């Protein structure tokens, strides 16, 4: 399997090169040259456990790693999850909640980043190379990325996040990791500022090559690939032996998670509708409902991981939707970057598969309260956005809502929703031993301006450079 850029000016490359490159040299995003179909194999996959299904899905895209090595990477990546099902399905009222928070940082990003961390280690060891990872996070990506690579010998990681915008627990999950290879950068700005800085650095090809920069954000294809697996897994589990299709409600800001579901459907898994659920940052719902893609100001909400205006993975969607037409993608992106708005000529709806809705803070809080009171199930505010969006699905077929984080990571939002005073049973859901100990740990972070020169200077001063054996090998 070869990988190509959404912008068409990068030579095709193998999976390993695509993972190490992160962002394509032409500024586009890397995707497989074709989406493989497993439609004719679904009956054979029906009863597979998560890890075995992950191997069957991933090996369709990873043709330059030996099967035994790939299977070992997958098994090690999910060995430390709290649930034997990895992403268990829980029936709550008339929906199924897919709990994606049983990894080491209690967020759905662990599903991809535990795999990516092990994958990076494997590739660097086989090549005797080093890497400096640069990432941007609005909440959970940073801690999950750090957990995936902390202490790894050939990797340094630099994680930018908007100062004061993630929840305090989300921040502590990053800043209390004090391994020598971890650097947390609190940026004076929004997540979009962090993401813009990251892309600017990666587009400086000379700087990227000099410091062996790699990406852990969902611009890295391996992130999206790992997430395809849980859509495949849930749809097969609930399809009643392939007699019905499953719909998914996805809280998303950067479009990576729902893109994985879109690809799973393209592969032939029994998926009907994908509901894109955003908070007040509604650039994506506006697009899917009107065909207008227009950047607005960032709204800071109770679901900070979705406080995003420009969704990086949206470009991959445009490429797939256009029939892999890189010229059309370049035209769209150039118009957006120069004018801040693109009007897509379309017939309604924009996409038959994707429905979209914006859920405001009041409805988010009401949804948390409703499910706690009626079902004794506590939702974190991001998951509540997705659950609230389930009202768009009018179907007797299964509806799965993605639970993207453990509720204990957002105690203030949940206390506000439930007006908690002395509800000990509910308060227990707001606690987790991994989080309770964070306040007692040493914290380390560096404040930095939202400035490309300041970021480059910091990376230059703290990057992992090749040692003599690496220099000789290369």
Which ranges in 150-301 belong to alpha helices (H)?
A: 168-175, 191-203, 205-210, 221-237, 256-266, 283-290
d(CA 109, CA 135) in angstroms, rounded, equals 13
Contact 433, 408 (CB under 8 A): no
Q: Give bridge partners of residue 159 from the DSSP assignment.
A: 135, 184
Estimate the share of the chain in helix, then strand, then coil, as percent rounded to the nearest 5. 45, 15, 35
Taking the C-alpha atoms of residue 200 and residue 448, their distance in angstroms, rounded to an integer, is 16
* Strand arrangement of the beta sheet that strand 354-358 belongs to: 89-92, 95-99, 399-403, 246-251, 271-278, 354-358
Tokens representing 472 are: 């000789």
Give the dihedral of Cα atoms 85, 90, 95, 97; nearest 10 deg: -60
Q: In this structure, are residues 185 and 210 in contact, taking their beta carbons and an 8 Å threshold?
A: no
Active site residue 394: no
Closest C-alpha to 92, from 407, 314, 458:
407
Instruction: Exactly one of 34, 109, 154, 294 is catalytic; name it.
Output: 109
Task: Report in angstroms the alpha-carbon separations of 469 from 157, 227, 239, 474.
Answer: 21, 36, 53, 9
Adjacent-strand bridge partners of 251? 277
Asked if residue 58 lies in contact with residue 229, where contact means CB atoms within 8 angstroms, the answer is yes
Q: Distances from the Cα of 448 to the Cαs of 84, 445, 451, in angstroms? A: 41, 10, 8
Structure-token match 């009863």, residue found? 47
Asked if residues 215 and 199 have their Cβ atoms less than 8 Å apart, the reply is no
Sheet with strand 182-188: strands edge to edge: 213-215, 131-136, 155-162, 182-188, 446-449
Just list the catalytic residues. 109
């Amino acid at each position: 399997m070869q990988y190509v850029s959404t912008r068409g000016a990068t030579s095709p490359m193998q999976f390993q090169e695509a993972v190490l490159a992160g962002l394509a040299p032409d500024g586009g995003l890397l995707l497989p040259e074709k989406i493989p179909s497993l439609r004719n194999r679904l009956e054979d996959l029906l009863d597979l456990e998560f890890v075995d299904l992950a191997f069957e899905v991933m090996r369709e895209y990873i043709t330059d790693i030996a099967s035994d090595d790939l299977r070992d990477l997958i098994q090690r990546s999910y060995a430390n999850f709290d649930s034997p099902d990895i992403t268990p399905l829980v029936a709550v009222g008339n929906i199924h909640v897919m709990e994606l928070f049983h990894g080491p940082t209690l967020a759905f990003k662990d599903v991809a980043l535990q795999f990516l961390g092990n994958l990076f280690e494997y590739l660097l060891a086989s090549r005797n190379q080093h890497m400096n990872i640069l990432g941007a996070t609005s909440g959970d990506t940073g801690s999950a990325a750090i957990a995936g690579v902390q202490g790894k010998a050939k990797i340094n990681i630099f994680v930018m996040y908007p100062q004061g915008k993630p929840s305090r627990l989300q921040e502590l999950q990053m800043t209390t990791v004090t391994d020598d290879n971890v650097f947390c950068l609190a940026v004076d700005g929004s997540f979009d500022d962090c993401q813009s800085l990251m892309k600017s650095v990666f587009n400086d090809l000379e700087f990227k090559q000099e410091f062996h920069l790699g990406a852990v954000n969902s611009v890295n294809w391996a992130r999206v690939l790992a997430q395809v697996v849980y859509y495949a897994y849930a749809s097969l589990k609930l399809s009643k032996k392939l007699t019905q299709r499953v719909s998914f409600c996805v809280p998303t800001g950067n479009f990576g998670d729902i893109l994985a579901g879109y690809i799973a459907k393209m592969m032939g898994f029994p998926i009907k509708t994908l509901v894109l659920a955003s908070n007040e940052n509604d650039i994506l719902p506006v697009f899917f409902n009107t065909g207008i893609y227009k950047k607005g100001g960032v709204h800071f909400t109770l679901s900070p991981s979705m406080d995003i205006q420009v969704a990086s993975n949206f470009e991959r969607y445009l490429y797939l939707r256009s029939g892999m037409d890189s010229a059309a993608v370049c035209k769209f992106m150039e118009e957006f970057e120069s004018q801040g708005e693109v009007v897509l000529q379309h017939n309604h709806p924009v996409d038959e598969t994707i429905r979209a809705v914006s859920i405001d803070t009041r409805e988010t809080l009401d949804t948390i309260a409703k499910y706690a009171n009626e079902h004794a199930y506590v939702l974190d505010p991001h998951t509540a956005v997705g659950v609230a969006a389930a009202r768009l699905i009018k179907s007797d077929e299964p509806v799965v809502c993605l639970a993207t984080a453990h509720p204990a990571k957002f105690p203030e939002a949940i206390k506000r929703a439930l007006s908690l005073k002395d509800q000990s049973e509910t308060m227990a859901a707001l606690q987790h031993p991994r989080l309770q100990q964070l306040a007692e740990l040493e914290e380390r972070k560096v404040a930095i301006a939202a400035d490309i020169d300041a970021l480059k200077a910091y990376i230059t001063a703290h990057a992992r450079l090749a040692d003599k054996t690496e220099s000789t090998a290369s």
